[in-house]
Amino acid sequence: MTDSKPSLPGRISLAFGTFFAILGNAELALRVRRLRAGASEADVPASEPAPAEAAPVNPLREVAPDAALQLLALLQREARLIDFVEEDIAAYSDADIGAAARLVHDGCRKALSEHFSLEPVRTENEGDRISLPAGFDAAAIRLSGNVVGQPPFTGQLTHRGWRVTETRLPSLSQSHDSAIIAPAEVEL
């Protein structure tokens, strides 16, 4: 079977699905990190050999793209996000781009606040020094810099992170085609 390059909607679906798969699977995250660092696919093993006493790794689960596509449609409807990103902005002035970005920002913010409740993962201020005890939630906190040794770790909080506490996506009919992010418009 020959692989063809995925279309833009296919790449968006793949990106959202991969994002959530990486959040749920540390082994996959490691393999993606190695690929992004320049390792060839042949250099990245399909899986690391597990020590005999290691706990079983959570298997990957198939992620349906419908919710990701629905979010993308909401961002398009409220902020014209896809129109903005797909526009060739090379010919526009920085002032024109800034004005358009402000509209996109306002629309994205409206869509997020209408459909999600968000809170920071960490309550401290960015720039504060914090300590992470042994057993900290590695899915909620990403270490960077010179990571050596075992916890507790002490470092500077560079980003508080975000956690969704509530999701309010509209229900979809069975016949709804999630791949249509925005229908074509024809004025008569």
Residues in the chain: 188
Per-residue model confidence as pLDDT tens digits over 136-188: 999 999 999 988 899 999 999 999 999 999 999 988 888 999 999 999 999 99
| Two structure tokens written together for 77 | 């409807």
The pLDDT of residue 90 is 92
Q: What is the DSSP secondary structure assignment for residue 119, as one 8-state letter?
A: E
Query: For residue 27, what pLDDT is reported?
Result: 82
Place of tokens 């699977």: 25
pLDDT > 90 fraction of the chain, expressed in percent and rounded: 57
Integer Cα distance of 26 and 20 in angstroms: 11
Q: What's the rounded Cα separation, in Å, for the pair 82 and 9?
A: 11
Q: Where are the domains of the chain?
A: 8-48
The pLDDT value recorded for residue 135 is: 93
* pLDDT at residue number 86: 94
Mean pLDDT of the chain: 86
The pLDDT of residue 78 is above 90: yes
Q: Which helix (H) or strand (E) holds 83?
A: helix 81-86
Reading the block at residue 59, the tokens are 């298997």
Distances (CA, A) of 145 to 36, 148, 154, 169, 172: 17, 9, 12, 37, 44
pLDDT at 20: 73
Kindly give the interhelix angle for 66-79 and 8-24, rounded to the nearest 10 degrees.
120
